[in-house]
């Protein structure tokens, strides 16, 4: 480490108090201002900690003894929680999780956004914060005795075989169980990353909560799936409500899950589900919200913040498969959606047709290129809705918003830090943030979605 003076040394044993949680659920303790990140620590807890690793700006440690427990500490419900990397917060009660997420949003809005007089509501949580995910995708491996499938052990590629995952719908657990059994029975080999041999790489299951329809996707290294007919026949017999069985072929040496080639082996190409009254057709590769129940809560809030009367032109930047666009179209005069992924736009058009919604128009491209072009053509938004990826809005898009001056901006975000940064830029450009509403879409994890309402200052 050279001559650098740090307040702690490696392997030193210290007493500390956790003040906060990191975005991956570690406790944060500060020693003379130097942060230590410690797995399994909760805010307010006091512990004896061993320092395990030091970097220039922060270090890591592990708990040796907990002196004082948080009132929100609970025993994790899942038997493999300690090993699995899927959730981060099962040792924190649900009330504690919602408080932690609200604090996370408050902190960044004040620290990064420098917004002091904004109404930040408490997080809208779920009545039952378990079994909410409608899509599961797991790597497949092998042990003596057959195929295994489950999540990777934290920071490794060792598969932990999983009987059930408590944040997945039960139907998806069943699919994984039956696919392992059936494919094992017919001698399908799992893919081996090291030797680049074998067949079955991943299994994905999708479930339409409102319709009960199930899709099974087998991701294989090889074009051929041995005993394909028998496997399909068995799966259809043992899995009720299966509507679609799909094969995706990924022959590359990569840890990206999907390959380019997808074919329907049996049944339909899509299953359907509803968010509110709007129906969505979901294919193997479609992006679709994993928690439709909370998505509805989030979008209803976005719709409320848009305050539509039926006279407005709305632009939905980053529209995806048209989820928010179609929600807004029910109350707006006209909605324009833009999205960079061509397949998503095809899905969006199909979903508009499916719901007989005619006052929407979708374009493929970068929001920061398409929207200024629309503006030049005289298409101006009264309300602009953005739901960008984690990195937030592109600077060029923010500049366009400030130039175009829509009366309202509704900002939906999956990353409170970039939201806070962008709110600050829009504030400096003439907008005022009125309300911020966090929504818990992913209980038991550190993620939180946020929707905020901005108006143009007169």
What residues are labeled active site? 414
For residues 316 and 359, is the Cβ–Cβ distance under 8 A? Answer: no
Phi-psi region of 425 (alpha: psi -120 to 50; beta: other; left: phi over 0): alpha
Give the C-alpha separation, 100 to 438, whole Å: 12
CA 22-28-30 angle, to 5 degrees, is: 140
Nearest to 317 by CA among 381, 391, 367, 366: 367
3-state secondary structure of 94: helix
Bridge-based pairing of strands 135-143 and 200-207 is antiparallel
Give the C-alpha separation, 43 to 26, whole Å: 10
Q: Please count the other Cβ atoms lying within 10 Å of the Cβ belonging to residue 339.
A: 26
Give the C-alpha separation, 146 to 130, whole Å: 29
Nearest to 271 by CA among 261, 262, 279, 281: 281
Nearest to 212 by CA among 321, 133, 134, 290: 134
Letter string b/e over residues 250-278, b meaning 16 or more CB atoms within 10 A of that residue's CB: beeeeeeebbeebeebbbeebbbbebeeb
For residues 385 and 78, is the Cβ–Cβ distance under 8 A? Answer: no
- Cα 164 from chain centre: 20
Nearest to 327 by CA among 350, 346, 308: 308
């Amino acid at each position: 480490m050279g001559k650098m003076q740090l307040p702690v040394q490696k392997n030193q044993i210290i007493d500390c108090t956790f003040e906060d949680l990191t975005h991956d659920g570690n406790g944060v303790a500060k020693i003379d201002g130097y942060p230590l990140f410690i797995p399994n620590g909760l805010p307010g807890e006091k512990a004896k900690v061993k320092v395990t690793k030091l970097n220039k700006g922060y270090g890591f440690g592990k708990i040796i003894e907990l002196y004082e427990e948080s009132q929100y500490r609970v025993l994790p419900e899942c038997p493999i929680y300690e090993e699995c990397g899927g959730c981060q917060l099962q040792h924190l009660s649900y009330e504690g999780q919602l408080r932690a997420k609200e604090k996370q949003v408050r902190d960044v809005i004040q620290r990064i956004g420098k917004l002091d007089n904004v109404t930040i509501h408490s997080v809208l949580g779920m009545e039952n914060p378990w079994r909410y995910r409608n899509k599961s995708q797991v790597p497949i491996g092998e042990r003596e005795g057959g195929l295994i499938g489950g999540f990777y052990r934290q920071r490794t590629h060792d598969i932990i075989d999983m009987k059930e995952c408590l944040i997945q719908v039960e139907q998806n657990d069943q699919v994984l169980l039956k696919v392992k059994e059936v494919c094992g029975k017919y001698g399908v080999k799992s893919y081996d990353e090291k030797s680049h041999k074998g067949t079955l790489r991943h299994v994905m299951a999708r479930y339409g909560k409102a319709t009960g329809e199930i899709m099974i996707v087998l991701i294989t290294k090889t074009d051929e799936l041995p005993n394909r007919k028998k496997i399909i026949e068995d799966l259809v017999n043992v899995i009720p409500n299966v509507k679609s069985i799909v094969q995706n072929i990924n022959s590359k040496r990569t840890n990206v899950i999907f390959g380019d080639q997808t074919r329907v082996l049996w049944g339909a190409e899509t299953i359907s589900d509803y968010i509110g009254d709007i129906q969505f057709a979901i294919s193997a590769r479609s992006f679709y919200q994993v928690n439709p129940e909370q998505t509805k809560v989030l979008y209803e809030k976005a719709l409320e913040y848009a305050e539509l009367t039926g006279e407005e032109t709305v632009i939905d930047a980053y529209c995806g498969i048209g989820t928010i666009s179609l929600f807004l179209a029910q109350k707006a005069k006209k909605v324009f959606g833009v999205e960079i992924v061509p397949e998503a736009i095809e899905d969006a058009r199909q979903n508009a047709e499916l719901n007989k919604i005619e006052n929407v128009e979708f374009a493929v491209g970068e929001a920061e290129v398409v929207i200024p072009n629309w503006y030049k053509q005289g298409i101006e938004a009264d309300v602009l809705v953005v739901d960008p990826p984690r990195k937030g809005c592109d600077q060029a898009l923010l500049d366009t918003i400030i130039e175009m001056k829509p009366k309202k901006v509704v900002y939906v975000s999956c990353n409170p830090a970039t939201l806070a940064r962008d709110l600050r830029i829009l504030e400096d450009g003439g907008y005022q943030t009125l309300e911020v509403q966090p929504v818990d879409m992913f209980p038991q994890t550190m993620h939180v979605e946020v929707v905020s309402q901005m108006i143009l200052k007169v």
